[in-house]
Amino acid sequence: MNLSKNNKKVAVIERHEAVGGGCVHWGTIPSKALRHSVSRYIEYKTNPLFNTGDRLARLTFPDILRHASSVISKQSNLRSSFYDRNRIQMFQGDARFIDKHTVEVTRQDGSTERLTAKTIVIATGSRPYRPPEVDFTHSRIYDSDTILGLTHDPHRVLIYGAGVIGCEYASIFKGLGAKVDLVNTRDRLLAFMDTEISDALSYHFWNSGIVIRHNEEFDHIETRDDCVIMHLKSGKRVKADCILFANGRTGNTDKLNLEAIGLKPDSRGQLKVNETYQTEIDNVYAVGDVIGYPSLASAAFDQGRIAADAISCGNCDEKLIIDIPAGIYTIPEMSSVGKTEQQLTAAKVPYEVGRAQFKHLARAQIAGTEVGTLKILFHTETKEVLGVHCFGERASEIVHIGQAIMEQKNGGNNIEYFVNTTFNYPTMAEAYRVAALNGLNRLFK
């Protein structure tokens, strides 16, 4: 879109008929739509206003998938209409390089067409990593793409991999009432988050009955007619109706014939780029999941825009922000931006903590979203906000208020802003005033 707005002639090649990529069809959008339905279902079941003691209709995974499908098609159609309006030509088929200016598109019927361009951007995304020894054609074994084709209502789900995808799906299945085993290959959940926040998630998972097994690795899988059993290297066996593998992703570079242009991806199929997303080949750029970290739709939008500026103008002053926020749509939700307490402690930065508990906020009491906390980390001398960490409903929205202040230059980033301003009342945003006062009160006079 940015290239087209800069008067460049643009063609997009997409393997699938509908545009939107993994983000719209198999990743961000479906998982968030599923999560939204489940959290409303939980609210409905627990709110005494609706739960009158009568038996409530049970919601199943196929039920909530139907709602997600309608959001997926709305998103995809919207994107198609943007392309049409901006005269961006779509070519449906599989793309592969012939040389550094030529790409061959193979259509579904096997026919081919060659397109040439001055500049080519690789935005082929990623796919779930599939351990080679696991049979993903088995009807009880899924990854995060194929789980969207689940037609039955499993009672017991085993999730292998407790990264972001594993934790989000653990919340979804638990919310629907399934028994969930979450097998983690690492020693704690989401170690990149502030420890207090990831501990809060562990506690809530434990409290809701999710069984987390840390430091485990699978040895092999045994399939039976009525179940599937994962044998772990520790000797444990875990039985389930189905297994969801969520242990990382691989960049979609293997089908691009990159040898033809002399580009070599790393062992995870990812490409190396510079600050403007140019690869080692000067007219070939790469953005999104195919370049690895942070592997987020949020960052991919900006990377695409920055690359397009660099292509149009020959350079680009705009850079991707360093503090990319994390929004993790577990139940409860979590979000953070900036440094964690662990990072500040390791770097010996003098900081203080300001906290607000959601249970003390009028808005949270009204909405029945009392589980949660907002934590602001700030420099004890300059009062600069260094990190914002939030746990609880709407955390991924709330964190952006703190982010806006953190981004201010020339002394504008100061925790006192939250004390010196007036917040709408009652709001969740008010948590910033409560947390700021709490933190400032801890400073020695």
Ligand X SMILES: Cc1cc2nc3c(=O)[nH]c(=O)nc-3n(C[C@H](O)[C@H](O)[C@H](O)COP(=O)(O)OP(=O)(O)OC[C@H]3O[C@@H](n4cnc5c(N)ncnc54)[C@H](O)[C@@H]3O)c2cc1C
Ligand Y SMILES: NC(=O)c1ccc[n+]([C@@H]2O[C@H](COP(=O)([O-])OP(=O)(O)OC[C@H]3O[C@@H](n4cnc5c(N)ncnc54)[C@H](O)[C@@H]3O)[C@@H](O)[C@H]2O)c1
In the annotated binding site for FAD, the residues are 32, 124-126, 289
Please identify, using beta-carbon distances, which residue of 24 and 328 lies nearer to ligand Y. Answer: 328
In the region spanning residues 93 to 132, those forming contacts with ligand Y, defined by CB under 6 A, are 129
Can residue 79 be called a binding residue for ligand X (CB under 6 A)?
A: no
102-110, 157-165, 353-361, 372-380 -> range binding ligand Y (CB under 6 A): 157-165
Distances in Å between the Cα of 191 and the Cα atoms of 33, 83, 197, 378 are 26, 39, 10, 21
- Contact track, ligand X, 304-333, x by CB under 6 A: -------------------------x----
The CA–CA distances, whole Å, from 31 to 26, 54, 75, 120 equal 8, 30, 14, 30
Residue 269 in the binding site for ligand X (CB under 6 A): no
Is residue 59 within the footprint of ligand Y (CB under 6 A)? no
- The distance of closest approach from Cβ of residue 271 to ligand Y in the complex, given in angstroms and rounded to an integer, is 14
* Smallest separation, CB 395 to ligand X (Å): 12
Beta bridge partners of 370: none
CA distances from 166 to 102, 134, 160, 234, 248 (A): 39, 17, 7, 21, 10
Should residue 42 be labelled a site residue for ligand Y when binding is judged by CB under 6 A? no
Q: How far is the CB of 417 from ligand X (least distance, A)?
A: 27
The nearest distance, CB 9 to ligand X, in angstroms, is: 19
266 CB neighbour count, 10 Å cutoff? 11
Cβ closest to ligand X, residue 75 vs residue 124: 124
Residue 161, binding choice from ligand X, ligand Y, none, Cβ under 5 to 8 Å by partner class: ligand Y
The yes or no reply on residue 41 touching ligand X (CB under 6 A) is no
With respect to ligand X, which residue has the nearer C-beta, 113 or 222?
113
Q: Which is nearer to ligand X, 61 or 329 (CB)?
A: 329
Residues 1-20, mask of contacts with ligand X (x by CB under 6 A)? ------------xxxx----
Tokens 């060659």 label which residue? 114
How many other C-beta atoms are found inside a 10 Å radius of the C-beta of residue 392?
Answer: 25
Residues in region 182-241 near ligand Y by CB under 6 A: 185
Residue corresponding to tokens 């703190």? 402
- If binding is defined by CB under 6 A, does position 303 make contact with ligand Y? no
Question: Which of ligand X, ligand Y, none is residue 185 near (CB under 5 to 8 Å by kind)?
Answer: ligand Y
Please give the annotated binding residues for NAD(+), written as ranges.
161-168, 248
Phi–psi pair at 275, nearest 5 degrees: -65, -20
Per-residue binding string, ligand X, 193-232, x by CB under 6 A, is ----------------------------------------
CA separation for the pair 385, 114 (Å, rounded): 52
Pairing between β-strand 179-183 and β-strand 156-160 as defined by DSSP bridges: parallel
Binds 124: which of ligand X, ligand Y, none (CB < 5-8 Å by kind): ligand X
What would the x/- binding string for ligand X be over residues 102 to 141, using CB under 6 A?
---------------------xxx----------------
Binding site for ligand Y (CB under 6 A): 129, 161, 163-166, 168, 185, 246-250, 268, 294-296, 327-329
Binding site for ligand X (CB under 6 A): 13-16, 21-23, 27-28, 31-32, 94-95, 123-125, 144, 165, 252, 255-256, 288-290, 295-298, 300, 329
